[in-house]
Chains A and B, each alone.
Chain A
C-alpha cells in the first residue's frame, strides 16, 4: 500500500492541526480550569425543593467578585428566586451556577455567553462562568421538554 508524497505531507499537516486543537483545549481544561459542565452532587429527582442545595434560589455573594447562582428548572419555568425572572450580576463577577430539574431534561443556556449546560433529573449541574461583558442576556431552554419548551426564559442582566 503506497502513499503519495503529497498525501504524507497532508496527513502530517492535518494530524498536526488536530493535535494543536487537542492541546489547546486540553491545557485550557486541565490547567486553566476551563472545563465543560459537570455534576456538583446527585439528589432525589422527586424531592428537589427539599434538598439543601435548593433552599435559597437566585444570586448569592460569596466573596469579592465570587458568587453562586442557584436556579431550578421545571416544565416550563426557571425559578430564579424572584417572580420578575431577573437576575442582576455585576460585570466581571465569577459565578458558580448550580441548577437542576424537577421533571424532565431541560437546557440551561444564557444566550451569547458560554453558560450552556444540560439539566438532568437527579443531577445538579454546575460550572463556573465569569461574566466579562455587560448586557441583557436571555436564559432559555435549549433541550426539548414538551409543549411549553420555547416559553421557558429568564433575564440575566450583567451590569457595570
Chain B
C-alpha cells in the first residue's frame, strides 16, 4: 500500500487530531470574538457589562494568531514529517505529546487570566501595561512547550539522514526543520522578555522594566512569527499542491533554496515593526528595512514556482496559449481551490507588507487599521485558506473517513464566503487606515470632527464583511466536525508531491546545518548588536507596571 493511502498508526492519528481539536475550537472562539468586534465598531451593539471590547480583542488575537495557528501547524508539520520519513518512534511521539500538554497548559493559564480581566493587554502584551503573573507564565509555557516539538522534528530528520545515508531527505521534513530552526532562534527573544523581564516585574521582584528593550525583544520574535505561519503554507504549496493537481514538484532544489533564504532573512528584521519608535538609531532602522526587502526575494521565487507548477501541469494536459493552463486546473476540488485563493490573496497581502516596511513611509499606515487589513489578508486568508485546504484531506486521512462530494461542495461554499467576506472587510480596513482610522480601538466618535466621522461607513462595511466571514467560519466548523466524526468510513489520500525523475538531487550544501545556523546567527548579530547596545546603554529609568483596564 502506498505511503499516501496507508493510515497512520492509531497512536499517531490521535496525537495529530489532538492538535486539530485545539486548533478548531480556537477558530470557533476567536472568529466569534471577531464578529463581536466588527459589530461593536460599527455601532450596532454595545458590550455587555461582563466583558469589555479590549478583552474580546485580546482573546481574538491570542487565540487565533498564537493558539490556532501554532496547534494547526504542529498537527500538519508533524504528520507530514512522519508520513515522509517513515514514522515516529515511541520517544519522539511521547515527546510531542509532552509538548502538546505543556503548550495547552500554558494556553489555559493565559486564557483564564484574560477571561478574568487580569490580562487585557492584547496579543502583543506591551509593557508597561502589566498583566497578572500567571498570564506571563502561561505564555512562557506555550513557547517553551513548542521547543520540545522542535527538538522532535530535528531529531527525526537527523535519524532519517543516519538511516538513509546519501539519500535526498524528504522535502516536507527538510522544510519542517527549517521552520522550527527559525522558530527556536526567534522565540528566544520573546522567552527572554517574558521570563527575564516580565515575570520578575509582575511578581514585584524588580520594580521597573526597560520598555524599549522588552519591545525590541518581542519584535525580534514578532516578525519571524509571521513566517512561522507562512512557511507551513508554503510547505503545502510546494510539496502537496502538485499532487493534488496531478503534476510534479516544479523544483525540489529551488524549494529548499527558498526555505534557506527564509531562515536567513526572516529574523534580523524586527525593527520594521518599530519604525515610529524613539530610541532606535535611524541607521539601524534602515539596515533592517534593507534586510526586510531581501526576505521578499524567496517569496517572489515562490510566486514563480507556483505559477510554473500550474502551467507545467496544464500544458501536460494539452493546454495551449498563454492562459489555457488555467482552465485545466481542478477548480471544483476544494483541496485545490482554497489554497489557490490563498495564493491569489498573497498578491495584495505581500504588496501591503512591502509598503509597511518602507522606512519613513510607515508613518502613513503605522497602527492604523490598514495594518489590520494587511494581516487579515496574509495570516487570515493566505495562510488560513491553505490550512482549510489541508483540513479537507488531513482530517479524513487521520480519522479513516472520506471527504464526500457533499462536503467538497460545502467547502467550495466556505471558500467563496471567506473570499467575499474578506475582500469587503479587508478593503474597508485598508481604506479607512489610509484615512487615518486607528487599529485596536473600540467604537468612538472622538471629538466629532469631520475626519473621524468619515470612518463610519468603512466600519459598517467591516461589519458586513465580518458577518460573512463568521458564517464562513461556521461552515468550516461543520465540515471539520463531519470529517472528524460523521463522514462515511473511507480511504483518503495524504497527497505527497513527487519530484521530477530527471531533476538532479539538491546541492548537498542545503543540509549543511551548522553553516545555515551560523549564517542566521551572524545576520542576527549584525542587525541587532550595535542598536541593542545603544538601547541598553542610553536607557532612561525603567517604567512601573500599570493596570488600566
Q: Which residues of A are at the interface with B, using a C-beta cutoff of 8 A?
A: 1-4, 6-7, 10-11, 14-15, 18-19, 21-22, 25-26, 28-30, 34-40, 42-46, 75, 85, 103-105, 107, 109-118, 120-126, 135-138, 140-151, 153-155
A136 to B215, CA, bound (A): 33
A109 to B128, CA, bound (A): 20
Q: Is the CB of A147 within 8 A of B507?
A: no
A26 CB to nearest B CB, Å: 6
Q: Chain A: interface secondary structure? A: mixed
Q: Is the CB of A142 within 8 A of B368?
A: yes
Q: Which of B237-245, B330-338, B358-366, B483-491 contacts A (4 or more CB under 8 A)?
A: B358-366
Q: Which of B25-33, B136-144, B271-279, B459-467 contacts A (4 or more CB under 8 A)?
A: B271-279
Contacts of A135 in B (CB 8 A): 451
A77 to B4, CA, bound (A): 61
Q: Is the CB of B546 within 8 A of A104?
A: yes
Contacts of A42 in B (CB 8 A): 279, 538-540
Contacts of B354 in A (CB 8 A): 18, 21
Residue of A nearest to B364 (CB): A114
Contacts of B282 in A (CB 8 A): 29, 35-36, 38
Contacts of A25 in B (CB 8 A): 286, 289, 358-361
Contacts of A150 in B (CB 8 A): 438, 441-444, 446
Q: Is the CB of A43 within 8 A of B540?
A: yes
A122 to B368, CA, bound (A): 24
Which residues of B (499-549) have their CB < 8 Å from a CB of A? 504, 506-507, 538-544, 546, 548-549
A46 to B304, CA, bound (A): 54
Query: What is the interface size of chain B, counting residues whose CB is below 8 A from a CB of the partner?
Result: 74
A46 to B358, CA, bound (A): 34
A118 to B216, CA, bound (A): 14
A120 to B540, CA, bound (A): 11
B442 CB to nearest A CB, Å: 5
Is B116 in contact with chain A by the CB < 8 A criterion? no
Task: Decide yes or no: A37 and B443 within 8 Å by CB, A111-B435, A146-B546 being known contacts.
Answer: no
The 3 lowest CB-CB distance pairs between A and B, nearest first, are A146-B548, A111-B436, A122-B540
- Select the residue from B54, B285, B540 with max chain A CB neighbours within 10 A: B540
Is B253 in contact with chain A by the CB < 8 A criterion? yes
Task: Decide yes or no: A4 and B308 within 8 Å by CB, A146-B129, A149-B54 being known contacts.
Answer: yes
| 13 new A-B contacts at CB < 8 Å, known A29-B359, A125-B278, A146-B54 | A1-B251, A3-B254, A21-B358, A35-B282, A35-B360, A36-B362, A112-B436, A121-B211, A140-B452, A144-B129, A146-B129, A147-B54, A150-B446
A108 CB to nearest B CB, Å: 9
Q: Is the CB of B278 within 8 A of A104?
A: no
